[in-house]
Structure 1
Amino acid sequence: MQSPRLVLTYSALSAFIIYLLFIWASRGSMNWSLSSHRPPDFSLYVSLESLSVEQFPLDDIDKRVIIVGDIHGMFEEFQTLLAKVSYNPSSDVLVSVGDIVAKGPHSGSMQVLEFMASHNITAVRGNHDQKVIEWRTWLEWIHSLPGGSSWLFQVQDKWEKAQEGGADDVEEWVEEQVRHDKKHSKWWKKIPEEWQLFGDHYRIAEGMTQEQYSYMIQRPVRIHVPHAHTFIAHAGILASDPNYKRKDKRQPLSHIPILYEAETRKEDTSFLRRLQELAILNEIPQNLIPWVTLNMRGVLDDHTVTRKKNGTPWAKLYKKDMKHCAGFDSKKKGSLPCHPSTVVYGHAASRGLDINRWTIGLDSGCVYNQRMTALVLGGKFAQQLPGTIEDEYDGEAIDIDGNILSSRPKFGDSGRGKIYSVAC
């Protein structure tokens, strides 16, 4: 019979191999041929990235992690926020929760993209970033096809002349072209359904450099920070599959990932937590669907995920799951053999700054003339003991309804962060 330590070694190796294969498979979608007449995979999803202690420093008093909510091309406000937190690129790690471009000014989107790409800023994709990636991939494909560039230039010139003549609804104009331009029908059919030609996402995609495009397609849909027991995702992460009860054996939190003798569990807790967090990412079906991670806002009564404002906010369900985590050796009735993990996200501007235990929502609606927010971790907070920081109000943390929140929220098992925000 194999010893627990040998099982641990084999399991660690297996988990690592599976992780590498998962990343390889995700990046493999990028290998399409420009010369093919068949449409490529426009999404180019990168499923997951894991950050090391150096990439996400929490215990170094001389380094900080600065996580910024949705930017949406609001470049001046973004720079104001960075100045407010005294961002120092030589010692600080800047992280974005996605949606760095679109919805805001076009010039601002291009400036934000230039800043992020030139500094290789850590970020997850947002749903608007994804649309830009898809349009740019489509453009690369069309230009690779014989006659594609000529057709697209003619269409663009025709649209510009139509605008001079008073046309202002590009969707209506495109529908008219599709109906009457029979000569180029094969080209019009190459535009995917529900995509808006010459819209905001198209213009950003068309205007960005090859280096900026490369930066964008390298952004993962999800980030895992094992040592901080943290997930970063644009819209969110589910801790359990809503189709099953919390204690169902199919739920990653309902059981310890690997069975050990009781005396070995304590020293292996960190490794077990990592495996359980990877199980959350890879065994809950909803978390494997990029659309969910990019768009989710809530869960409906029929257990389906929705991007609309109705339904139960996913963060509320996540908090309930984490509340039941009582450690791997807990015998408490109704508890789960798990340790909590934190999710930092954006996307839900309609809920504004949304700080809960184990979930921190940073989209405070800058593009809607509200605020842009950052969560600062580490630095002078790295050596703070729990409970030594007062939760006094300092004007930084206000939710969508004007309620005062703690500007020094709890983070992780026993740490705290600091909320900074600027008006937009």
Structure 2
Amino acid sequence: MTEQKMETREDERKMDYSRNEGNTHPEYSPSLLIDRVANGWRGEVKTDSGDDREAGPCDLEDEGSCPNISRRIIRQRRSRRMLALGLLLVALAYYAWQAYLRPRMQQEWDLKEGFLPGRVNETYGIAHAGDFDGTRIQDIHPDLVPGGAADHKGKRRLVFVGDIHGCKEELLHLLSKVDFDPATDHLVATGDVVSKGPDSPGVLDELIKLGAQSVRGNHEDRLVQAAKTVLGKNVPLSSAADTSKGYSKDQVLLMELKPKHMHYLHDMPLMLRIPALPLAKKKGKHHIRDEMIVVHAGLVPHVPLDRQDPYFVMNMRSIDHKTHVPSALHETERGNSEPWFDVWGWYQERLDRGRSTSAFHVYSHAEWLENQAPNGWLGKLRGLLVTKPMRKLKPQVAVYGHDSKMGLQVHRWSKGLDSACVSGGQLTAMLLDAKGKTEIVQVECKNHT
């Protein structure tokens, strides 16, 4: 019975299900399974607790935080290479700053500092050898200029020679080596053609015969001054004042020299000016295309030629880069000494590039103030309208001798030709043709000291 009842109830359920499946009325449609689920969680409000705080940008537990992202980037090989390259570039930049840029900037300031008006201290006229009574500036004869009006074909040459110091044999050897031709070549000496060597009268004879020119060096100046003291007043040589080092040797040499020699020495100019060569090339590493000034020792840059101190023109070796006071020594006690040709070259390079020198003093602080326009924009405008414009300065090349310790010094704006011939070095010549091309020629010398 029980089994029959159970089968009867199962059949009834199946019949009810069949009826409901065929009925399409909404009231009798079976409910969806999702509607039968209790959705109480939808209405609940979630509250933050200490354990459920929002992750920050530096949270180590968050995979997207900055530390974790950085760690993943660093672990990549490419990133490590980029980081190493960056550190290397920083190190190289620091090294370049310390080793090159910073020293050059400091040197640039050191060289510029002495040109500023506040550094002028009016100490240029402190000559130790008295007033210069000769020719200060002499211009070379136009007919002797290579490529000039008298040399249309450009066949002439200028032959500059360093300190000869009485070494006639070496001078003749040098002239032979450069194929010196008096018809087309002109010899220019940088001074100190006499003293120390074995044959000063012979050297003077040769220079006079060739029609050569020489600027006055400190040894020639000493002889000229000694001649005034001793010969001019008929003072015995032994009683003459010892005015300079080596004076006793000068006494002996004076007795060997003839009137024509003394006349030649006295006529030596302090400076010999050579104009820019008309046919000179505009470019070239070994070419000179600018005006040249031949002196024995050196020049103070920015000081006009007619205001140069004669003593230092014949004796200077260094210059104080802060005050621009020259010195006959290589190093002074103040410790601001620079080779004068370094400061000279810096200034000439600035002129050649057309950089402004309006803030630089020219003669003295007082004269600089006179050239300044009044303060204010109205005063500056008045100054532009009324004040005469300053003459545009052009660079110059200095050719000199004197400094045998430094030896041959060939730079763009200065040519130092003293190579210690009299003490066993070389006698140096610099050849200059009509196109401005230079060539250095040397011969070995005996030690005569």
TM-score by length of 2: 0.54
Structure 1 unpaired stretches of 5+: 1-40, 156-187, 242-279, 384-414
Which residue in the other structure is 1:89 paired with?
182
Residues 56 and 237 (structure 1), Cα distance of their counterparts in 2 relative to 1, 3 Å cut: farther
Give the conservation status (yes or no) of the 8 Å contact 1:319–1:359. Answer: yes
User: Map of 1:160-179 to 2, 5 A cutoff?
Assistant: none
Alignment equivalent of 1:239, drawn from 301, 311, 317 = 301
Which residue in the other structure is 1:35 paired with?
none
Which residue in the other structure is 1:403 paired with?
none
Aligned-pair identity (%): 27
SS in structure 2 of the partner of residue 368 of structure 1? coil
Instruction: Say whether residues 1:112 and 2:203 are aligned partners.
Output: yes
Q: Which letter does structure 2 place at the counterpart of 1:200?
A: K
Which residue in the other structure is 1:200 paired with?
249
Give the conservation status (yes or no) of the 8 Å contact 1:124–1:233. Answer: yes
SS in structure 2 of the partner of residue 231 of structure 1? strand
Which residue in the other structure is 1:46 paired with?
135
Which residue in the other structure is 1:274 paired with?
none
Give the conservation status (yes or no) of the 8 Å contact 1:58–1:65. Answer: no
Q: Which letter does structure 2 place at the counterpart of 1:339?
A: K
Residues 45 and 331 (structure 1), Cα distance of their counterparts in 2 relative to 1, 3 Å cut: closer
Q: Which letter does structure 1 place at the counterpart of 2:437?
A: R
Deviation, 1:58, is: 4.4
Alignment equivalent of 1:314, drawn from 329, 333, 340 = 340
Q: Which letter does structure 2 place at the counterpart of 1:290?
A: P
- In the aligned structure 2, how far is the partner of 1:74 from the partner of 1:331? 45
Q: Which letter does structure 1 place at the counterpart of 2:264?
A: Y
SS in structure 1 of the partner of residue 183 of structure 2? coil
User: Map of 1:293-372 to 2, 5 A cutoff?
Assistant: 293-300=313-320, 301-310=322-331, 311-326=337-352, 338-372=393-427
Q: Which moved more, 1:76-85 or 1:332-341?
A: 332-341
User: Map of 1:187-226 to 2, 5 A cutoff?
Assistant: 188=239, 191-195=240-244, 199-226=248-275
Give the conservation status (yes or no) of the 8 Å contact 2:191–2:217. Answer: yes
Give the conservation status (yes or no) of the 8 Å contact 1:45–1:220. Answer: yes
Deviation, 1:203, is: 1.6
Give the conservation status (yes or no) of the 8 Å contact 1:70–1:372. Answer: yes
- In the aligned structure 1, how far is the partner of 2:313 from the partner of 2:208? 22
Residues 239 and 193 (structure 1), Cα distance of their counterparts in 2 relative to 1, 3 Å cut: same
- In the aligned structure 2, how far is the partner of 1:133 from the partner of 1:307? 20
- In the aligned structure 1, how far is the partner of 2:352 from the partner of 2:248? 49
Residues 332 and 367 (structure 1), Cα distance of their counterparts in 2 relative to 1, 3 Å cut: closer
Residues 213 and 331 (structure 1), Cα distance of their counterparts in 2 relative to 1, 3 Å cut: closer
1:240-271 Cα offsets, whole Å, 9 max, x none, are 25xxxxxxxxxxxxxxxxxxxxxxxxxxxxxx
Q: Which letter does structure 2 place at the counterpart of 1:281?
A: L
SS in structure 1 of the partner of residue 344 of structure 2? helix
- In the aligned structure 1, how far is the partner of 2:353 from the partner of 2:302? 17
- In the aligned structure 1, how far is the partner of 2:418 from the partner of 2:247? 27
Q: Which letter does structure 2 place at the counterpart of 1:52?
A: H
- In the aligned structure 1, how far is the partner of 2:410 from the partner of 2:161? 14
Deviation, 1:368, is: 1.6
- In the aligned structure 2, how far is the partner of 1:333 from the partner of 1:222? 26
Instruction: Say whether residues 1:422 and 2:434 are aligned partners.
Output: no
Give the conservation status (yes or no) of the 8 Å contact 2:164–2:193. Answer: yes
- In the aligned structure 2, how far is the partner of 1:196 from the partner of 1:368? 17
Query: RMSD of aligned C-alpha atoms?
Result: 2.7
Give the conservation status (yes or no) of the 8 Å contact 1:366–1:372. Answer: yes
Structure 2 unpaired stretches of 5+: 1-129, 278-290, 332-336, 361-390
- In the aligned structure 1, how far is the partner of 2:327 from the partner of 2:421? 23
SS in structure 2 of the partner of residue 367 of structure 1? coil
Deviation, 1:317, is: 0.1
Alignment equivalent of 2:226, drawn from 114, 126, 135 = 135
Which residue in the other structure is 2:305 paired with?
281
- In the aligned structure 2, how far is the partner of 1:340 from the partner of 1:198? 38
User: Map of 1:149-164 to 2, 5 A cutoff?
Assistant: 152=236, 155=238
Residues 56 and 205 (structure 1), Cα distance of their counterparts in 2 relative to 1, 3 Å cut: farther
Give the conservation status (yes or no) of the 8 Å contact 1:94–1:122. Answer: yes
SS in structure 2 of the partner of residue 349 of structure 1? coil
